[in-house]
Amino acid sequence: MPFQMRPDQILNEVKTFNEKLAQGMTNLMEVGEISSGVTPFEVIYTEDKLKLLHYTGNAEPTNKVPMLIVYALVNRPYMTDIQENRSTIKGLLDAGQDVYLIDWGYPDASDRYLTIDDYLNGYLDNCVDEIRARHQVDAINLLGICQGGAFSLCYSSMHPEKVKNLVTMVTPVDYHTPDNMLSHWVQNVDIDQLVDTIGNIPGEMLNWTFLNLKPYQLMGQKYLGMVDVMGDSQTLKNFMRMEKWIFDSPDQAGETFRQFIKDFFQQNKLLKGEVQIGDYTVDLKNVTMPVLNVFAEQDHLVPPDASRALKGAVGSSDYTELSFKGGHIGIYVSGKAQKTIPPAIGEWLTTRS
């Protein structure tokens, strides 16, 4: 049956849409400043552009082994603390964890030649040592997110004596699964020519790439649907928080980007045990501490099979998987995730600390 709509229905639809848009524009003008994270913290260590944050909860942590969150270099870590009732950070604090997080900052031209070795055996290792000294412990808990999870795996392989327990979230391990669209896209890109030509990789370029993985949903449908939420000022503010985060994309240090794309995405060296970082060859069999691997079942950036590959790769005899029925971002910001993921991580860590 052909699509039919009477003229009066069309006029009414247009009228309703315009009324929503007019009210929404008023709310948009009054939305005010959009915060970048909501949980109180103190900066306890700085190095170049890096800041090490220590979050404070409403009660003393019950787990005496501190946790360090290692976020990806892409986008900003306040995704984990986006608003009061949707904060992985707050959930971990409520679960008794003592939470630290690395804010990598915004690389500029002076960071063009920073390597993965600089990030992991320099910055990350210094942060781990700072926390170890602060708490007088030999090893800490690591929680790595996405690319930060891959970095945490590498670090745990190189420095297993400094990591008591490892949690990976939406972390790619096998970059060559058939459903990894991002990996398929990048296989034939000349990364050397790209980095040699422009140096640091602009955050806008990467953001455009991620959005084009689901262009209709992320660039069309979303903004049409925005009109329906603009009438509620609080819902609109929540929408704008997400928009701020999505487009707050730091540039990527050229040499780090070169190695990460070539070694991890194009050649799948992490799974093969062939990644060379400084003086170390990364062998995931060296990851012998307890491992909790958390992945999202509808993740379009890191397909579940890309994360599940960790089970057969690590050397740990204490390996646990936790799946979430949602997407790459929903695992941090959905109401369902808040009730399940941070408490589960907290319980898993506390029983092993």
State whether residue 208 is helix, strand or coil. Answer: helix
- The pLDDT tens digits of the residues spanning 41-92 come to 999 999 999 999 999 988 899 999 999 999 999 889 888 998 888 899 999 9
Q: Output the pLDDT for position 73.
A: 96
d(CA 94, CA 89): 9
List the one residue out of 282, 291, 293 whose CA is nearest residue 260.
Answer: 282
Q: Which residue has the higher pLDDT, 1 or 179?
A: 179
d(CA 153, CA 269): 13
- The pLDDT tens digits of the residues spanning 227-279 come to 666 666 677 667 767 777 677 889 999 999 999 999 999 999 999 999 999 99
**Distances in Å between the alpha carbon of 188 and those of 79, 182, 302?**
31, 12, 19
Tokens encoding 79: 């995704």
Report, as an integer, the average pLDDT of 332-344: 90
**Lowest model confidence (mean pLDDT) among 117-131, 167-181, 201-215, 281-295:** 201-215
Q: Output the pLDDT for position 230.
A: 66
- Please state whether beta strands 50-55 and 99-103 pair in parallel, antiparallel, or not at all (unpaired): antiparallel
Angle of helix 7-29 relative to helix 233-246, nearest 10 degrees? Answer: 70
Cβ burial, residue 181 (10 Å; 0-12/13-18/19+):
middle
- What are phi and psi for residue 218, nearest 5 degrees? -90, -15
Catalytic site positions:
146
Q: Which residue has the higher pLDDT, 35 or 190?
A: 190
The stretches of 168-284 forming alpha helices (DSSP H) are 181-186, 191-198, 203-211, 215, 222-229, 233-246, 254-259, 269-272
What's the mean per-residue pLDDT of the chain?
A: 89
- The pLDDT tens digits of the residues spanning 294-316 come to 999 998 889 999 999 999 999 99
